[in-house]
Structure 1
C-alpha cells in the first residue's frame, strides 16, 4: 500500500554536483573493467533470445511471458515460465532504453511494481524509458512455487507461524515446529522450483530478458532486496549494464553469510530499527508536548514501560462487533516496526505509543481501537486462492545464504539479538528460521556466493538513508566499499529506502539513470522531512502532509511482521 505523501522542504538540490571529476595530471590510469566470466557467458548466451508475444494489458501496459531454463547448465532442459510487463516510454523517439525495476521482498512482484511506476517514478524517467518488471521465478505472475499440495496442508503449517514473532516458550516451540515443516515441504513438494530460485537465477533471467526487449545494456533500479539482485547482476555481468542503482541496500556478503549466524545477526536490520526508534523518542522528548504527543515524562523510559507491561499482560480492546482485539507485546512491537517504514515515522510511532500508554492507564481506547479496525480491514487470511508469498521469499533466502543447522537454535539466537537491539532483535531474527539446513535441504547448485568486488565497466549508484529500519544504512556503506566502481549517495530521510522521500535524493537517482553519471563523491541529501518540526494540530484535526516530489513513495516489498495495529503495506 503506498505510503502517505509528505510536505515539500526547500533547499533540495543544494550541494548536488553531477559532473565526473577528471583524474589529476600524473595520476595512475584507472584499473580496467572486468568482463562477464566465460562460465556465466556460456550459461546465458546459450539461451536463444525469447520472442515476446506482447499483448495490451491493464489499460496502460503490455504483458508477455517467456519459457526460460530451470537450470542454465541445461539450456535445452526443463523450463519455467517468467512473466514480464512494460509501460512504454512516453517519448519513444528519444527513448534511452528499458528501465528494469525490482520492488524487493524477496517475493515482491516486479510486474505489479512496474505497473504502478507512473505513480512513483519521476516524469523524466517515464518519458525516456520503457518501464519493465520481470517477476522473479516462482513469484507473482511467473510460474508459482507451491510447497504444499493444498491450501489445507499449507494452513496447517502457517497456523504454527501465525504470530508477528514468537515471544513465549510455547510460541517459540510452535514456531520452530512450523519452521521445520515449512522447510521440509519446500524441499520435497516444492521441488524442483524451490531449488532454482536463488538470486543468481533471477539475475540470469534478467540478462536474457534484457536481450528480449532489445537492449544492448541493462538499466536497473532495485529497492531493498532488489539491491541484492542489482549487486548480483553487477558482479556476474560487470560489462553488461549502462546504469544500475540500488536503494535500501543489503550487503551481499552478509546476505550469503555463514552457518554460524542467523540472518539478522549478519544484516543488523534490528540495529537499524532500534537506532531509529531511540532517535525518534529522544527527539520527541527534546521537542516537547507542543510538538510530540508522547513527550510527557521520559519517552524512552515510557516506551520501555509499555513493552514491559504488554509482555506481562496483553491489552484487550473491543472490536465493535462483539469481539475483542488483543494487543500483545509482539503486536505492539511489529506495529512500531511497520511505522518506522514511513517518512512520517516520528509522528506515527509516537501516536501509537501514546494511544497504548493511555489505554494501559485506563484512558480512552477509541483512537487505538479505530486504528486496529482500519489495519484489520486491509489484511486477508491464507485461505483461497493459494497464496505462496512466504514460501517464495523463503526459497530465495534459504537458497541464497548459508544458515545454522537446526531451527531449534533460533530461540537463543534471537534472544541474544534482542539484547543487542531491544524490541526488534526477535522481530527481525525469526525471518529465516525455516532455512535451517537440516530441514531446508533443497539447494541451488548454481547459486552465486561471490566475489562481490568486481570492477564494473559502468559506475553503480548505491543509495542509503540514515534511519532505515530494514536495510541498515551500514549495508549501503559496506556495499559501496566492496564495489570499486561505485558511488555512495546518502540521505537523512526517515523510512525504508530514499527514492521519493525528498527532491535531492530522487533527482540524484533520476539524473544518474538518465545520464549514467553518478552524483559527486560524498553527496549527502538533507532536505527530507524531519519529525517534530511543526506544532501538533488541534485535537480532532488530522495532519495533512504533501509530497516533496509530487509523487507517491515506491510500494517497496519487504519481510515485516504483520500487526493488527498497522495497515498492510
Structure 2
C-alpha cells in the first residue's frame, strides 16, 4: 500500500483534532471497555468505563493525559435501539456518574427504551481526574467553617472572607497545578467528541441541562458536522458568560438574580394561595405581599440574631442561600427538597426567630471517610467558571454588587450575586476558551426553557434559540430549574419525538408542567397550548 493509502486508512480510524494530512497530529481512540459499575457508583443495568484523554487537546500526542469516568445505561429495547444520547447534568461541577443514575426516573421513558444514555464526570470533576483543593472532605469542610455562613455581612466579615477565599484558591492551585488551565468548556467539548468516537457512535445525540447548555452549544459549533440531535434545557446566556462587565459577575450578567426574584415571587403567590395546611410558611388568609413581607422580616431577624435548628446555625444570609437552592424543584426529588419543604423550613425558622434559643453547639471535626479520595471540592466547579468567565477581581466589591442585585431583584439577589465571589482571587486562566461564533450550520436543535426558572433565566433560553443557526424554542409554563427536573409530560413527549423521529414541536408551542406547587401528587398532564406567556 502506498504512503498516501496508509494515511487515508489511518485517518479513517483516528480522531482528527486539526484535520488530516502529512503534517497534522493524530491520535488513536481506544474503544470504551464497559463493565459493571462499582457498587458505590450505580447498580445494574448501569455500566462504567474509563477513558484516557489528553490533558491539552492542542497537544494530543503528549504523554500528559487525564482520566474520565464514564457511565452508561443501555437501551431497554435493544431491537429498536437508535444509538446513544450523551447527557451533561450542568454545574459546572455536575458529575454524570452520580446524576445519570440518580435522575434516571426523570428521563422520558421512550428515550430510555430507544437510546443508550451515556454520561461522564467532566475533567476536573468527581471520579475523573479532579480538582480537589484539600487532602480530604474533612479538611475542606473544616476550612469552610471559618468562612461566613451564606455570605459575609459587614466590613469585618467581608475583609476576612477575602483573605480566606484567597487562601482557599491558593490551596486549589497547589494541589491541582496545571490542571486548572485545562478544565474549560472547550476542553470538555473536545472530550465529548473523543467519547463519541470511543463509544463507536457515528453521530452525536446530546442532552444538556443548565451549564450543560453552554457545553452543548460549544460542541455544536466546534463539531457541527457530527451532530444528529441536541436538546438544550434551562439555558444560560452564552454571550453573557464570556462578557466582561464592570461590577457584574457571571450570574448578574445572565440575569439570574432577576430570575430568582421572579420565581420567589411565584413561591409567595402559590404559598399564600395554598394556605398554611399545604404551605407551612403561609398564614391562613394572608396575601402574597404579606407572605413576602413576612419573609423579609425573617431575613432581618436572622441577620440580627442567628438561631439554632438542631446542630445547625442559621443566619439571614444562610437562610437566603438555602431559599435560593430550594427553589430549584417544585416537588421533592432526590437531593432536591422542593417548595413544600421550603415552606416547612421557613416556618420553623419563623417560630425559632420569635424567642431566644441557645446557640448551636460547636461542630465537631468530621472524620475522614474512605471516599475522601473522591470527594467533591468546591474548587472543581469554580475552576471551570472562574477560569473562563470574567468576574470582578476584588471580593470587597461584592457588597456593592449584591446591593445592585437587591435593588432589582429583592433580597434573593444577594446570594446570587455572592455566588461568583470565589472567582475574585482565582489563580488560573483557561488555556483554551471558545467564545464563538455560535451560528454554525447544524441539524435543527431543540431549546427548552421554564418561564420561572430561578437559576437560568427564561430570557436566556429565548436568546439561545435565536443565537444558534437552526433552533426551535419550546416553552414550559412552569417553575423550577430545567424541565428535566420539573416534569412536564408535554415537554417529555416533544423531546422524545425530536430524538426519535427528528420532529420539532410547533413554533411557539408552550407546555404545561405536571402538578401544581404544594400538591405533591402529579395532576393529569396538560398537553400544551400555543399562547406564549410573558414572565
Q: TM-score range by the shorter chain?
A: 0.7 to 0.9
Q: Could you tell me how far apart the structure 1 residues matched to 2:128 and 2:279 are?
A: 46
Say whether 1:502 aligns with 2:488.
yes
Question: Which residue of structure 2 aligns with residue 106 of structure 1?
Answer: 92
Which is worse superposed, 269-278 or 109-118? 109-118
- Give the deviation of 1:125 after TM superposition: 0.9
Against the structure 1 CA distance between its residues 62 and 347, is the aligned structure 2 distance closer, same or farther, given a 3 Å change threshold? closer
| Paired residue secondary structure (1:517) | coil
> 1:272·1:471 contact (CA, 8 Å) conserved in 2?
yes
Against the structure 1 CA distance between its residues 548 and 84, is the aligned structure 2 distance closer, same or farther, given a 3 Å change threshold? farther
Question: Which residue of structure 2 aligns with residue 472 of structure 1?
Answer: 457
Which is worse superposed, 131-140 or 499-508? 499-508
The one of 343, 353, 356 aligned to 2:349:
356
The one of 302, 310, 327 aligned to 1:310:
302
| Paired residue secondary structure (2:118) | strand
Q: Could you tell me how far apart the structure 1 residues matched to 2:367 and 2:259 are?
A: 30
TM-score (norm 2): 0.82
The one of 442, 445, 453 aligned to 1:460:
445
Q: Could you tell me how far apart the structure 1 residues matched to 2:432 and 2:19 are?
A: 14
Which is worse superposed, 141-150 or 39-48? 39-48
Say whether 1:52 aligns with 2:32.
yes
Structure with larger RCO (C-alpha < 8 A, sep 6+): 1
How many equivalent residue pairs?
Answer: 484
Q: Could you tell me how far apart the structure 2 residues matched to 1:382 and 1:223 are?
A: 34
The one of 497, 500, 521 aligned to 1:514:
500
- Give the deviation of 1:155 after TM superposition: 5.2
The one of 239, 245, 256 aligned to 1:253:
239
> 2:232·2:446 contact (CA, 8 Å) conserved in 1?
yes
Question: Which residue of structure 2 aligns with residue 199 of structure 1?
Answer: 185
The one of 410, 414, 430 aligned to 1:422:
410
- Give the deviation of 1:81 after TM superposition: 0.9
The one of 401, 409, 413 aligned to 2:401:
413
Say whether 1:83 aligns with 2:75.
no
> 1:112·1:133 contact (CA, 8 Å) conserved in 2?
no
Question: Which residue of structure 2 aligns with residue 545 of structure 1?
Answer: 521
Question: Which residue of structure 1 aligns with residue 422 of structure 2?
Answer: 434
Q: Could you tell me how far apart the structure 2 residues matched to 1:434 and 1:288 are?
A: 39
- Return 5+ residue gaps in structure 1 as ranges: 1-37, 366-371, 374-379, 535-543, 550-569
Q: Could you tell me how far apart the structure 2 residues matched to 1:548 and 1:381 are?
A: 46
Against the structure 1 CA distance between its residues 83 and 327, is the aligned structure 2 distance closer, same or farther, given a 3 Å change threshold? closer
- Give the deviation of 1:398 after TM superposition: 1.2
> 2:224·2:440 contact (CA, 8 Å) conserved in 1?
yes
> 1:199·1:447 contact (CA, 8 Å) conserved in 2?
yes
Question: Which residue of structure 1 aligns with residue 267 of structure 2?
Answer: 280
| Paired residue secondary structure (2:225) | coil
The one of 296, 299, 309 aligned to 2:291:
299
| Paired residue secondary structure (1:239) | helix
Q: Could you tell me how far apart the structure 2 residues matched to 1:114 and 1:290 are?
A: 35
Against the structure 1 CA distance between its residues 548 and 161, is the aligned structure 2 distance closer, same or farther, given a 3 Å change threshold? farther
> 1:248·1:465 contact (CA, 8 Å) conserved in 2?
yes
| Paired residue secondary structure (1:47) | strand
| Paired residue secondary structure (1:104) | coil
Q: Could you tell me how far apart the structure 2 residues matched to 1:103 and 1:461 are?
A: 17
Which is worse superposed, 274-283 or 464-473? 274-283
Against the structure 1 CA distance between its residues 188 and 547, is the aligned structure 2 distance closer, same or farther, given a 3 Å change threshold? farther
Q: Could you tell me how far apart the structure 2 residues matched to 1:333 and 1:515 are?
A: 44
| Paired residue secondary structure (1:191) | helix
Which is worse superposed, 474-483 or 284-293? 284-293
| Paired residue secondary structure (1:164) | coil
Q: Could you tell me how far apart the structure 1 residues matched to 2:32 and 2:277 are?
A: 59
> 2:133·2:377 contact (CA, 8 Å) conserved in 1?
no
> 1:462·1:488 contact (CA, 8 Å) conserved in 2?
yes
Which is worse superposed, 273-282 or 346-355? 346-355
**CA deviations over 1:408-431 (Å, ceiling 9, x no partner):** 322322232223222222211222
Question: Which residue of structure 1 aligns with residue 145 of structure 2?
Answer: 159
> 1:503·1:548 contact (CA, 8 Å) conserved in 2?
no
| Paired residue secondary structure (2:66) | strand
The one of 329, 332, 338 aligned to 2:319:
332
**CA deviations over 1:47-106 (Å, ceiling 9, x no partner):** 322222222223312221121111111111111111211111122232111111111111
> 2:516·2:522 contact (CA, 8 Å) conserved in 1?
no
Question: Which residue of structure 2 aligns with residue 175 of structure 1?
Answer: 161
Q: Could you tell me how far apart the structure 2 residues matched to 1:169 and 1:240 are?
A: 52
Q: Could you tell me how far apart the structure 2 residues matched to 1:329 and 1:175 are?
A: 17
- Return 5+ residue gaps in structure 2 as ranges: 1-15, 38-42, 332-337, 526-535
Q: Could you tell me how far apart the structure 1 residues matched to 2:352 and 2:423 are?
A: 39
